[in-house]
Amino acid sequence: MSVLKKSGQPEPKRIVIFRALYLGDLLNAVPAFRALRAAFPNSHITLIGLPWSEEFVKRFYFYLDDFISFPGYPGLPEQTPDLPRLLSFLAEMQAMNPDLVIQMQGSGDIVNPMIDLFGGRQTAGFYLPGQYCPDKNCFLEYPEHEPEAWRHLRLMEFLGIPLLGDELELPLFDGDRAAFQQIKDKYNLENEFVCIHPGANAKERRWPTANFAIVADRLSAQGYQVVLTGTEKETPITMSVSLHMNAPAIDLAGKTTLGTLGALISKARLVVSNDTGISHVAAAVKTPSVILFPGPPSIRWAPQNTQLHRRVWDAMGKPPSEILPHVEEHLAAVQAQAS
C-alpha cells in the first residue's frame, strides 16, 4: 500500500513535481515519472522546471499534464533568482493547493524549506541527515551512492509505488522525423554518420576541441560523415572543432529541437560526447556511445548498458591516441553485434 494512497482515501487529484534542472536530469527522472503515472492514472501531474522544460513536458504528455516555469531560488545554481517573480510564484502555488508535492530536485538541503511554502496537503522527497525534513514518513534519506535514475526510483519504492523498469525514454513523433529528413536533404546527410558532441555546461567536463577534431577526422577517414551537435550557445565550441578538422563536418549546433536531435541521434552509428545531456539522449534512443568523463569511475551519471555505451574515465587529460582505441573498438563491437 502506498503511503500516498492509504486505504479509504482518494488518490491525489493534483500532483506537483519539483525538478528545475537540465535535459540529462529530466531524462533520468523519466522512469520515476512512468511509475508515478501508472500509480495515479487519473491525477493531474505538473512539473515545475526551468523554462526550457516546457518542451520536455509537451513531449512526455502521457506522464506529465502541465508545466510551471520556476523563477529560481537563492542557493540554486541553475538560474539567477527572479525574487519578485518568486513571491508571486509561491502565491500561485498556494492558490493551487496541490494534494501532493514531490521534491525531486536533489538532496533537499536548500529547497525543502521552500517546498513547505507551496502549501501542498502532503509533501514527499529527499532529505539529508541533520538537515530539515518536512515529514520522515514521506521523505527518504538521499541515496548518495545510486545511479541518478535509481535515486528517484528508490523514492518511488519508499513511497510504495510499483516500479516499471529503469529504462530511459525519449519519444519521437512524425514531426521530429520529418524535420530530420529536412536536415538530411539540406546537408546531404547519408546513413553512415557519427555524432560528435564537444560541449558541456562546465568547462572542466569538456575535452579539448582539437582532440575531438582528431577523432572526427579519423572517423571521416573510415567513411563516416561527421555531424557536430550542440546548443546555440555551444556554436563557438563546434566551430572550433570544425576549424581544427581536415575533413568536412556538418555543424548542427543550435539548429535542432529536442525532437530533431533525438531523431538525429537515433539514426547515428555512434555518439562521441563529453559527460553531458546528449549521453542520456543516446541512452534513451539506444544509440551506441563513447562518453568521456572528467573524473574516476562513478555510477551516478554513467550509462548503465555497458554493451551499448563505453565509459572512459579520467578522460580530460588523455590525448586522442588514448581515446581513439575506445572509439574504434566500440564502434567495431556494436557493428558486429548488429550484423
Bridge partners of 17, per DSSP, are 47, 102
- Cα angle 286, 213, 303 (rounded to 5 degrees) comes to 25
CB 8 within 8 A of CB 36: no
Other Cβ atoms less than 10 A from the Cβ of 334: the count is 19
Q: Determine the structural domain holding residue 108 and report its residue range.
A: 14-158
Other Cβ atoms less than 10 A from the Cβ of 187: the count is 15
Q: Same domain, yes or no, for 36 and 73?
A: yes
Q: Same domain, yes or no, for 211 and 151?
A: no
Whether 124 is in a domain gets the answer yes
Among residues 161, 169, 152, 131, the alpha carbon closest in space to that of 18 is found at 152
Q: Same domain, yes or no, for 183 and 142?
A: no
Res 2: pLDDT? 62
105, three cell numbers: 530536485
Report, in angstroms and rounded to the nearest whole number, the Rg of the chain calculated over CA atoms.
21
Q: Same domain, yes or no, for 135 and 275?
A: no
Whether 166 is in a domain gets the answer no
Mean pLDDT split into 10-residue runs, the chain, 339 residues: 62 96 96 97 97 96 97 94 94 95 95 94 96 94 95 97 97 97 95 96 95 98 97 96 97 96 97 96 97 94 93 96 96 85
Write the DSSP symbol of residue 154: H
Q: Same domain, yes or no, for 145 and 187?
A: no
Out of 130, 158, 186, pick the residue that ends a domain.
158
Res 197: pLDDT? 98
Res 191: pLDDT? 87
Q: Same domain, yes or no, for 144 and 252?
A: no
Out of 126, 158, 190, pick the residue that ends a domain.
158
Q: Same domain, yes or no, for 24 and 149?
A: yes
Strands of 193-256 (E only): list them: 193-197, 225-228, 250-251
Q: Mapping DSSP to helix (H, G, I), strand (E, B) and coil, where does residue 142 land?
A: coil
Res 337: pLDDT? 83
Whether 9 is in a domain gets the answer no
Tally of structural domains, the chain: 2
Cα 127 from Cα 92, distance rounded (Å): 25
Query: Please, what is the end-to-end C-alpha distance for the chain in angstroms?
Result: 46
* Four-residue CA torsion sign, 176, 177, 179, 180: positive
Whether 262 is in a domain gets the answer yes
Out of 158, 191, 215, pick the residue that ends a domain.
158
For 45, phi and psi rounded to 5 degrees? -110, 125
Q: Same domain, yes or no, for 23 and 153?
A: yes
Q: Same domain, yes or no, for 224 and 149?
A: no
Among residues 275, 237, 268, the alpha carbon closest in space to that of 254 is found at 237
Whether 168 is in a domain gets the answer no
Whether 255 is in a domain gets the answer yes
Residue with cell 541515496: 143
Whether 167 is in a domain gets the answer no
Whether 7 is in a domain gets the answer no
Q: Same domain, yes or no, for 226 and 103?
A: no
289, three cell numbers: 556511445
Query: Cα–Cα distances in Å, from 10 out to 5, 42, 246?
Result: 7, 11, 64
Domain CATH for 63: 3.40.50.2000
Q: Same domain, yes or no, for 153 and 48?
A: yes
Q: Same domain, yes or no, for 178 and 153?
A: no
Res 6: pLDDT? 57
Measure CA 145 to chain center. Answer: 19
